[in-house]
Amino acid sequence: MTYLLDSSAWLAHLFGEPGVEEVNQLFADPRNDVSISVLSLPEVYARLKALGRQDQWPYVWGIYAAFFTKVIPVDEAVAHQAIVLREATPDRLPTVDGLIAATAAVHQLALVHRDPHIGAVPAQNLRQIRLPGGR
């Protein structure tokens, strides 16, 4: 299977929060390809910085870079799909989360996340796996 790990899922794994076991299972199965959006890098760094642990970023990235199949950039197709997702979602969909979700949709990946606002994206627009412990 092919997956896109949202920043929230990566952070759950990094900090051992609810959802960590599900992400462990994705990483453990050699048949899985687990990618991330390039937008997740600054989001994870920002969480480390908020905790006063930004000096750990090179170490964290060094470990996780080996887990991810690809770091997928945002392009025009993703930007247009983010508009489609925002239009289809009844609740507020923050821009970065919309772009990450659109990345999954454009590349036909299942988005793994724990964000309630991403969970509001209609199933016909986005294949998703919602982890426990959403904020």
The CATH number of the domain holding residue 92 is 3.40.50.1010
- Scored b (16 or more CB within 10 A) or e, 18-57 reads ebbebbeebeeeeeeebbbbebbbebbbebbeeeeeeeee
Query: Is residue 135, in this structure, part of any structural domain at all?
Result: no
Number of domains in the chain: 1
Residues facing residue 3 across a β-bridge: 34, 110
Residues 93, 83: contact at Cβ < 8 Å?
no
Q: Given this model, what pLDDT does residue 9 score?
A: 98
Per-residue pLDDT tens listing for the chain (135 residues): 999 999 999 999 999 999 999 999 999 999 999 999 999 999 999 999 999 999 999 999 999 999 999 999 999 999 999 999 999 999 899 999 999 999 999 999 999 999 999 999 999 999 999 999 765
Residue 99 within any structural domain of the chain: yes
In contact, 129 and 111? CB cutoff 8 Å: yes
Would you say residue 65 lies in a domain? yes
Domain of 60 in residue numbering reads as 2-130
Residue 33: helix, strand or coil by DSSP? strand
- Give domain status of residue 71, yes or no: yes
Residue 111 in domain? yes
At which residue do the structure tokens 């076991």 appear?
21
User: For position 134, what pLDDT does the model report?
Assistant: 65
